Chain A
Amino acid sequence: MNECILAVDDDREIVKAIAILLEKEGYRVLKAYDGMQALDLLTQNSVQLVIMDVMMPKLDGLSAVMRIREKQNIPIIVLSAKSEDTDKILGLSMGADDYVAKPYHPAELAARVKSHLRRYTSLGDIHAAGQDKLTNGRLCYHIAEKILYADGEAVRLTATETKIIELLMKNPGRVFPAEEIYERVWEEPNFVSENTVMVHIRRIREKIELNPKEPEYLKVVWGIGYKMEKKER
């Protein structure tokens, strides 16, 4: 593997922790402590992914992201202590691919890095959607095989879970009330409570979401139902 990752943060300990974490996963990690340094390192090395903090001296993270985007198309994950939605949207609109709020779980960060690298390097063809494929962000559902791929890796789902995923993947963005999901998946009138559907949704989440507590794909629309979030890319 040996993909090269650039970790940028003004907090040296954090950079070090990221480096240890990712090196354990088998990546090569370059360290930078401000935006300018990061840009220098990027010109000198071939980097496949950037982890960038927002608040940094000399050149802040978002400006650095913009500068990187002028030349390169590599995945960029933004780290920030600001966890508000507006900050998230701003970061993503500046050209970042992902946004991780501090304090993050190291495991989550590692998962995200892995996900982005897989899509960027080995599975460049993942976006080439065929007729029998339903693609949404990192998820890809093969209709004929009835298999869901997350970042190109097949996810092990039960038969019911597969049916739910098929229904939701076919209608990304649409909100399904629990009753409707039940009736269409179990194919019998809905007599059970919300729980049955919710339990399945939660299980699927644990299999496909990078952070099941803050799901990106399988979302609850409170007071209405459930939906598969439609992703731009």
Chain B
Amino acid sequence: MAIKWKKRNVSIVVLYVAAISFLLTGLFGFARGGAFSGNFRSCAALLRNSDFQKTGDFQNFISSRLSCFLRMACGDYVSDNGYYSSDSYVMGTDTSEYMEAVAEEGALAAESDEAEWQDSAQKNQMAKEKKASADAFHNRIQPDKNILYRISYQGTECYSNMDEISWQYEEGRKDLPEGYNFLLYFDGTKAVIQKDGKETDIYGDGIYREEEDWYLPGYKNYPGKEKWGKAKIVILAAEEPVLYTGDDTDDGYWLENDFYYLYQNYVEERNQIRSSTAYFCLGLILLACYLYFRREKREAGKYLAKLTAGMWFEWKALLFFVLPVIFFLCLIHRDGAYGVWEEYASELGYAGVGMTEYVSEMTGYVLSDLWYQRTGVLLVFWLLYLFFCDLRNNRGSCKNGIFGRLAATLEQKSFSLPLSKRMMKRSYGILFLTLAQLCFFLGLLVFILAMRYRIEWIYPYGVVEWISGIASVSLVITAALLITEYIWQKKNHRTALDLEQLSQRISVIRDGNYDDEKAIAAEDADIRRMASELEDIRKGLETAVEERTGSERMKVELVANVSHDLKTPLTSIISYIELLKQEEDLPEHVRDYICILDEKSERLRNMVQDVFAVSKAASGQLPVEEKELDLGKLLYQTLADMEETIQKAPVTIKTEIPKEPVLIKSDGGRIYRVFQNLIGNAVKYSLEGSRVYISLEKEGNLAVASVKNTSSRELNRQTDFTERFVRGDVSRTDGGSGLGLSIAKSFTEACGGTFQLETIADLFVVTVSFQVLE
């Protein structure tokens, strides 16, 4: 059962760990995809859309190329400054940014046009430069066969990287070369896009909207330049771009493969988002499963906490909290030479409009960074989880540590102090802390006021007022707190003193001084009430104890008096019987009478003594002098002492007593009486010719002595033989007082032993046991 439960538990813990891990991984992935920095839509689009050529990036790339080609065609300055160059590509660059860049470019171009007109002397020079830039651009991009293009101006082809591409594309021939599935044809006013053999309507209602449309000339609100009307451009895009490597020495240009990298980024991003989504969904499913089993999880948490319970708190805090947190901070810090935290801090310094946005962006950035260290982060997370699990489940776990132990020791030390002192000590701590707080605020206020003019240089106007205002309010509150606390503590102190009186009173009563009458002068009403109630209890106890002791004393006194009153006449009887016995010339039958008198008076004497002893023992007034003694030896001594009686009796004694000492602590004289009575009884009431067994053995830490004999008379099972004056025979004709077993029992119990009597048919077994001394 336990193992089953354990297995189940472990599996639930694994489930929980997996669920949270997957969820977190998914979350990091989303962050990486830009979900937290506002690019949520693009993420959603990535998920929805598996076609690269439908992405904004692709559209922008093609638009940008078209714009460049148009410039090349018209002989304008071409400055494609590598907007999509692979190393400066930043995830999440949105369309608007790009649009701005393009607009700027356009303005620059326009400026240069104006300059052309103003300074005709430099016209040729400018044209040459423009031509050179166009050539350079063509040289740079033409080896990248992922994008094929053909540019013509006024019917003549100026640039192309196609081998044998005719203009047939524009006339509706639909089969593109193998590996290419995208065609853009610009006829001077409008562009036609043909994808996978189908023509796409790009203009719609003819109005350009930033969000969804291609940024191509031909809209009503973006008609394009007039001179572009003479240009014709064909662009072909590969379905799956590949990496082109060229000759390194080729004109000093290196192959850029912009398009390929754009595609790769897209693929990577898409895969990322997809896997993140998968992780996230899996995490959600697992979490749902876990929620179903969450009750067992709590058990599992407790189980986990039990594992960590034994550790010292400081170790736990270090291992599961401090180190993970440091590790986490290092993880975040590691990547950027420009620390994230510095950026955070410096940014927080400007309380600006875009702060929340900025923070969310930064958080997204940080989280996306975490994607790369997800294993480490998960480790940190789980260590922290262990720590908090421990905190939650192991109550008082923080006490199990160096500081906890120190505190416990101090507490223990203070336990030796009286209650009021302890209470005061605790309150001193609070008072001291409040005082420290007061001093701090006072110091702060003084500091601010003193440094006021210097601080104002650094911090904006108003901060000083704010801080000093807060400090003074805190100061006032703390002062009020201090005064209140002081008054309370004073009152508490008085209450504590009252309590101490009360506790002293309780210990006085506990010590058994019921008759000590003393009122408690408590100031606190509740304590006064308690004190008066305590007095009531004391009075009740006093009366009860007095009644009890009174009745006990009366009983013992009664027995003592009775026995005394019996003893005095008995003395006379015995004395005169003795005198009678010494008379010489008495008839024989008178001598017999005297003999009988002698015998009976002796029995009476024994009885009186026994009654006295048993009543004393029963009322717990038997003086007991406990000493270390050997129970085995005591039994031998008793047997030796009673040898005469035993030899006269018609029974045999069988002993089973170990030779090695069986040490107990008891009153030897009393125990002797016990065994004397027991053996005497056994000898007296045993069946003729039977055996009496006397044994002693150690049973654990008990020394058990037993006397077993077979009764000569039938034993009545209902009889309690230890009852006073009860005897095996009802006629009471033999010489016993009927107190033997009663004395044995009460003496045994007075000496700290246990007395047990058992009858099995006619077998009479008495067991007396004592604690063995080690």
Residues of chain A touching chain B, judged by Cβ–Cβ distance below 8 Å, are 11, 13-14, 17-18, 20-21, 24, 55, 81-83, 85-86, 102-107, 177-178, 193-195, 197-199, 202, 220-225
Contacts and interface: CB of A to CB of B under 8 A. Distances in A.
A105 B570 CA distance: 11
A3 B597 CA distance: 33
Q: Which 3 A-B pairs have the closest CB atoms?
A: A223-B629, A222-B668, A198-B640
Interface stretch (B129-137, B573-581, B681-689): B573-581
16 contacts: A11-B571, A13-B576, A17-B578, A21-B579, A24-B582, A82-B560, A103-B567, A103-B608, A105-B574, A221-B629, A222-B669, A223-B627, A223-B631, A223-B634, A223-B671, A224-B630
Chain B contact residues (Cβ within 8 angstroms of A): what range? 35 or more
B618 to A, nearest CB: 16
Most buried by B among A104, A106, A178, A225: A106
A13 B576 CA distance: 9
Given A104-B571, A195-B640, A195-B643, A224 B582 contact: no
A40 B117 CA distance: 169
Contact of A81 (B563, B573, B634): B563
Given A195-B640, A222-B637, A83 B568 contact: no
Contacts of A82: 560, 564
A35 B288 CA distance: 105
A82 B638 CA distance: 27
A178 B632 CA distance: 13
B668 A102 contact: no
Nearest to A225: B633
B668 A17 contact: no
Most buried by B among A14, A20, A223: A223
A224 B560 contact: no
A60 to B, nearest CB: 14
B643 A198 contact: yes
B293 interface: no
Contact of B576 (A17, A24, A194): A17
B637 A14 contact: no
Contact of A194 (B574, B640, B672): B640
A17 B572 contact: yes
Contacts of B612: 83
Nearest to B675: A222
Contact of B578 (A21, A102, A177): A21
Nearest to A104: B571
Given A18-B575, A102-B568, A106-B578, A224 B605 contact: no
Contacts of A197: 640
Contacts of A11: 568, 571-572
Contacts of B623: 85-86
A81 B567 contact: yes
B72 to A, nearest CB: 127
A81 B633 contact: no
B609 interface: yes
Given A103-B574, A104-B574, 9 more contacts: A11-B568, A13-B576, A81-B567, A81-B568, A103-B605, A106-B575, A194-B639, A195-B639, A202-B641
A17 B634 contact: no
B571 A222 contact: no
B636 interface: yes
A199 B643 CA distance: 9
A117 to B, nearest CB: 20
A102 B575 CA distance: 11
Given A81-B563, A223-B633, A224-B630, A21 B575 contact: yes
Contact of A102 (B560, B567, B579, B669): B567
A222 B605 CA distance: 25
Contacts of A103: 567, 570-571, 573-574, 605, 608
Contacts of B634: 222-223
B568 A220 contact: no
Interface string B662-682: 001010110110000000000
Most buried by B among A21, A55, A197, A198: A198
Most buried by B among A17, A18, A21: A17
Nearest to B579: A20
B640 A14 contact: no
A199 B640 contact: yes
B575 A14 contact: yes
B585 to A, nearest CB: 16
Most buried by B among A102, A193, A224: A102
